[in-house]
Amino acid sequence: MHSINYVRSDGTKTRNRLDARIPDNDVFLSLGDNFDQHDFTKTVSYSYQSLLIERWEQLRKKYSHISLWFSGGRDSRIALDLAIQNNIYIDEICVVRPTLLPDNLRVLNLAEVDVNAIQYLDAIKDKIPNTKINIIEFRDRHFATVYQNPNWVNAGAPWMIWRAWMTVHLFRYFKDEFSLTDGDGAVNVLGAIHPHIHTDDNNNWILQFIDLQFQDLEKSVEIFNVADDMPELTKAYADMARNWCIANSVVPKRFAITPNDMRNNMALYQQIKLVNSQLQFPKNWNNWVPENSIPYQINAGFKSTMNLLLCEQQSPQPQGYINYINNTDWPRIEAELQYGGICSKSFVF
C-alpha cells in the first residue's frame, strides 16, 4: 500500500495534513523509507514504458484483486492500454460519474468522464471480457452524506468540493452500495502522479513532489507510478522529462512548468488519442476568487470554481453544496492557509 506520510519533528508520522502542519514548523513529507533514501542520480537502464509494464507485473504478483480507478485521461489510459497490450489481467475498472447538478446539466467532471472514460471502455470492451466495469453514480445525496460531518477535512488535503468522491469516502460510506472491494489481497490502483522537474541555482536537476499532489490516500490504495518499492519508475520519468527539456531548449525553474504541461508535450503521452480532447478541462487558469471567501480560495481551479458557481445558482441549491458550505470546518482550513508554504520532498537526479 502507499507509504506517504507527514513526519513531525519528533519522528512520529501522520496522514492528516492539518494535524501535522499547523502545530509543527518542522514537518516534512515522506514518500516511504526506501523511496526517501533512494539515489536518484543512479542511471536507470530501462525505459519508462518498460518500467510501467514491470510495475503492473509487480502489482499483479502482490495482489489477488486489482481495481483500477479510471478517469479516461492520458495517465489512466496509458496504464490500462499497457495492461491490455501485455496481457495483464485487471479484475475491475471503477469509473466515478460525479455531479451535484441536475441530470440535464452534463458538464465539467461528468462530461469528461462520460466521453473519455465510458465511451472508451465501451469501445474496448471486447478486449477485456472478464474485467468487471463498475460505474459509480455519485450524486447530490452522496455529497451530502460526506459533507454532513465537519471532520471530513481530516481525510486529507486539498479541500475542494469534489473531494467527496475520493476513495477514502467511498469506502467509508458507500462500500456496500457501490460493491467496492477491499480487504486482504485487494488493492485500488490510482492513475499517476508526476514530479515537478526544475533546475536549481547550481544547475542541478531536481525532481520534487508536493504533498497536495497526493489527494486520495485510502488505506488500500497504490499509486501506479509513485511506489516505495519501485523508485526507479520515478527516476525514468524524470529522465524522460529532462530529455524533453534539453531537446526543446527548456530550462525549467521551480514551478515554471507544471507536471501536466510537461507530460502532455512528451511523445509517450502525445500518442494517446482521447475520445474528445476538448473535454479535458484545464486544471489551472487565471483564478478569479471572490474577496474574503475561503471556499472560493480553496476551489480556485477551473472545474472547482465552476462547480461552486453552478451549485450556488441552482434553485433549490443541492444539499451536498449546502452541507459543504455550512458544515466544513472553514476556520481550521483558514488557519492552514494562513500558515502558508508547501510541504514537499525533493531529490537531485
DSSP letters, 198-237, are EE-TT--EEEEEEGGG-----TTEEETT--TT-HHHHHHH
* Grid cell digits, residue 113: 468522464
Does the pLDDT at position 276 exceed 60?
A: no
Question: Are 26 and 170 contained in the same domain?
Answer: no
Question: Are 107 and 137 contained in the same domain?
Answer: yes
Residue 277 or residue 252, greater confidence: 252
Bin 156: left if φ > 0, else alpha if -120 < ψ < 50, else beta: left
pLDDT of 193 reads 87
Q: Is residue 24 part of a domain?
A: yes
Q: Which of 112, 107, 226, 109 is nearest to 164 (CA)?
A: 109
Question: Are 147 and 26 contained in the same domain?
Answer: no
* Grid cell digits, residue 198: 526544475
Strand-pair category, 205-210 with 132-138: unpaired
Q: Which of 82, 146, 136, 79 is nearest to 109 (CA)?
A: 136
* Grid cell digits, residue 252: 525549467
Question: Are 141 and 18 contained in the same domain?
Answer: no
Q: Is residue 348 part of a domain?
A: no
Q: Which residues, at least 6 apart from 79, have a Cβ–Cβ distance to it below 8 Å?
A: 52, 56, 68, 189, 191, 192, 224
DSSP string computed for 322-344: HHHHHHS-HHHHHHHHHH-S--E
Question: Are 123 and 12 contained in the same domain?
Answer: no
Question: Are 217 and 241 contained in the same domain?
Answer: yes
Q: Is residue 35 part of a domain?
A: no
Q: Is residue 349 part of a domain?
A: no
Q: Is residue 36 part of a domain?
A: no
Question: Are 26 and 120 contained in the same domain?
Answer: no
Phi and psi dihedrals of 171, rounded to 5? -75, -30
Mean pLDDT over all residues of the chain? 88
Written in H, E and C, the secondary structure of 242-277 is: HHHHHHCCCCCCCCCCCHHHHHHCCHHHHCCCCCCH
Q: What is the distance between the alpha carbons of residues 28 and 255, in angstroms, rounded to a whole number?
A: 19
Written in H, E and C, the secondary structure of 51-62 is: HHHHHHHHHHHH
**Alpha-carbon Rg for the chain in angstroms:** 20
Question: With bands split at pLDDT 50, 70 and 90, how would you rate the model's confidence at 267?
Answer: confident
Q: Is residue 192 part of a domain?
A: yes
Does the pLDDT at position 68 exceed 90?
A: yes
Question: Are 229 and 318 contained in the same domain?
Answer: yes
Q: What is the tally of structural domains in the chain?
A: 2
What domain range includes position 321? Answer: 41-342
Strand partners, 92: 67, 132
Question: Are 25 and 50 contained in the same domain?
Answer: no
pTM of the model: 0.90
Question: Are 24 and 76 contained in the same domain?
Answer: no
Q: Is residue 178 part of a domain?
A: yes
DSSP helix/strand/coil, 310: helix
Question: Are 15 and 100 contained in the same domain?
Answer: no
Question: Are 260 and 136 contained in the same domain?
Answer: yes
Share of the chain above pLDDT 90, in %: 58
Q: Is residue 166 part of a domain?
A: yes
pLDDT of 282 reads 52
